[in-house]
Structure 1
Amino acid sequence: MNPQVHSVAFVTVAHRPADSELALTAVGGAALLTHTVRGLLGTPEIDLVVAAAPERCAKSFSEALHGLACRVVPGASLRQVFAAVEPLLSPDAVVLVHDALRAFTPQRTVRQVLAAVRDGAPVAVPVLPMSDTVKTTDESGIVTATVDRDGLRSAQTPVGFSLPAFRSALADSADPGLADTAGAATVPGDPDAMRVASAFELTLAEALVAGGDREDPL
């Protein structure tokens, strides 16, 4: 039987060791991880959602995602997790890598990433213009220059890959993601796609959930 999966979203916590626990932080009565996966599952263009669970958190991730049609795959790296589902993928599959802590990324952002890859971009990433003033400093901490921010962007997820581009990224890194986006196409990011990792960001996330009136949420 021919492979049926034309798009797969990997939900990862590969940035820092503490991110696994942060992904289980409750916001509005559900873990951030749960919010993230629910939104991806609600995106019709995505055929399969896979949570890449660090071994120590596999049970907790499974409990947080109980009742959701998400496959939880324990693994030390995304390379290992990908190997478990690669046989299911069609040759034209789009692979998304999404940070579990970006639980409130709008669906339109996900769809734009998918569309960019479908339209021929090997890699696509959502970005926002840089609003802060950026300085360079020397070894003693003295400001040496102001960086022109016109060409600077802050990157978000999901990062979208064609299947060949993702395999190529895996050859260079066990956990490809934002570090593997040189030459990527860009789509508009969204402020709601913030990475919820600090007390202040958790407060904002609670407000988003309590408001319940976000247009086109993930």
Structure 2
Amino acid sequence: MNSRRSQFSTRFSPLNPMRIAAIVPAAGSGERLGASLPKALVAVAGHSLICRAVETVAQYVDLIVVAAPHGYEKPISVAVEKWSTKTSVITGGITRRESVSLALATLPDDVDYVLVHDAARCFTPGSVFLEVIHGLKAGNEAVVPLLGMVDTIKRIDQNKFVVRTEDRNFLGRVQTPQGFSSSTLRAAHARECSVEATDDSMMVEEMGRPVLTVLGHDLSRKITTSADLEWAEALLARRAK
């Protein structure tokens, strides 16, 4: 990682009048990683997940809001200030949706687009950010990166019996950053959702709005378990050779 603060890309700001903000939910625990710290502060090869995520995100947006776990706002602020000059840290909520809603409420009204990016997907390549932003600027109100399925997918019933085999050509794994027009994301968070939303695009779907998919990337793996952490360490070790 480059130790200096990230410089925001002139591809999007200030020469481009469209303002892009990013929300980084980082209030998750490190329990499944076996860590005593919140997941965002878990280090991979000497740098925390949140620092790695912010360093990448800062290249493509004008401002960043990180939703931190209660009680960890200060250490996260100290950690990220070395990587971005336009990042603020707020106290996140109990759920991911609450964290994003709280961060969204702090964004200025003149923000045109909002990217929501998981701190735990800190190895997402810049090409994915560019694809999502391009989709938004082409006029789409919601854009998400997606990877196709390679395994055979079965639908099962509550007793664990197979109901049918799904056509994997029409299924995929959604990643982040997920991009939205500011008005669409605000509208999605202002209404009740009939099901527990696991991501923001699901809330937009509930509104009946179209969500465009663009190609995701294998490196956008979410660091959730100790096995994911081992994968990340191995990835960086290979890069260091």
- TM tier, smaller: 0.7 to 0.9
Supply the distance in 2 between the matched residues of 1:31 and 1:100 (Cα, whole angstroms): 10
What residue is the counterpart of 1:177 in the other structure? 200
Give 1:86's aligned amino acid.
Answer: P
Deviates more, 1:153-162 or 1:67-76: 67-76
Where do 1:41-60 residues align within 5 Å?
41=58, 43=59, 45-60=60-75
**Contact conserved, 1:137 with 1:145, CA < 8 A, in 2?**
yes
Q: Give 1:170 shift.
A: 1.4
User: Does 2:111 correspond to 1:82?
Assistant: no
The sequence identity of aligned pairs, in percent, is: 32
Q: Give 1:178 shift.
A: 4.0
Give 1:80's aligned amino acid.
Answer: L
Structure 2's unaligned 5+ residue stretches are: 1-16, 32-36
Q: Give 1:55 shift.
A: 2.0
Distance 1:75 1:25, change over 3 A: closer
Where do 1:123-134 residues align within 5 Å?
123-134=142-153
Supply the distance in 1 between the matched residues of 2:192 and 2:234 (Cα, whole angstroms): 36
Supply the distance in 2 between the matched residues of 1:66 and 1:162 (Cα, whole angstroms): 27
Q: Deviations over 1:163-187 (max 9, x none)?
A: 1111111113698624235321111
Supply the distance in 2 between the matched residues of 1:145 and 1:52 (Cα, whole angstroms): 40
Q: Give 1:85 shift.
A: 2.3
Q: Give 1:114 shift.
A: 0.7
Supply the distance in 2 between the matched residues of 1:83 and 1:137 (Cα, whole angstroms): 40
Supply the distance in 2 between the matched residues of 1:138 and 1:173 (Cα, whole angstroms): 28
Q: Give 1:133 shift.
A: 1.7
Q: Deviations over 1:69-97 (max 9, x none)?
A: 2211224232222222224x34xx11000
What residue is the counterpart of 2:57 in the other structure? 40
Q: Give 1:12 shift.
A: 0.7
Q: Deviations over 1:35-54 (max 9, x none)?
A: 0001112x2x4111221113
Deviates more, 1:190-199 or 1:138-147: 138-147
What residue is the counterpart of 1:199 in the other structure? 226
Supply the distance in 1 between the matched residues of 2:232 and 2:203 (Cα, whole angstroms): 28
Where do 1:107-122 residues align within 5 Å?
107-122=126-141
User: Does 2:57 correspond to 1:25?
Assistant: no
Supply the distance in 2 between the matched residues of 1:122 and 1:37 (Cα, whole angstroms): 24
**Contact conserved, 1:122 with 1:184, CA < 8 A, in 2?**
yes
The alignment covers a number of residue pairs equal to: 204
**Contact conserved, 1:5 with 1:48, CA < 8 A, in 2?**
no
Q: Give 1:5 shift.
A: 7.1
* TM-score normalised by the chain length of structure 2: 0.77
What residue is the counterpart of 1:156 in the other structure? 175
What residue is the counterpart of 1:168 in the other structure? 187
Supply the distance in 2 between the matched residues of 1:179 and 1:63 (Cα, whole angstroms): 33
Deviates more, 1:121-130 or 1:176-185: 176-185
Supply the distance in 2 between the matched residues of 1:75 and 1:100 (Cα, whole angstroms): 13
Structure 1's unaligned 5+ residue stretches are: 214-218
Q: Give 1:129 shift.
A: 0.3
Higher strand fraction (1 or 2): 1
**Contact conserved, 2:30 with 2:42, CA < 8 A, in 1?**
no
Distance 1:39 1:26, change over 3 A: same
Q: Give 1:208 shift.
A: 2.1
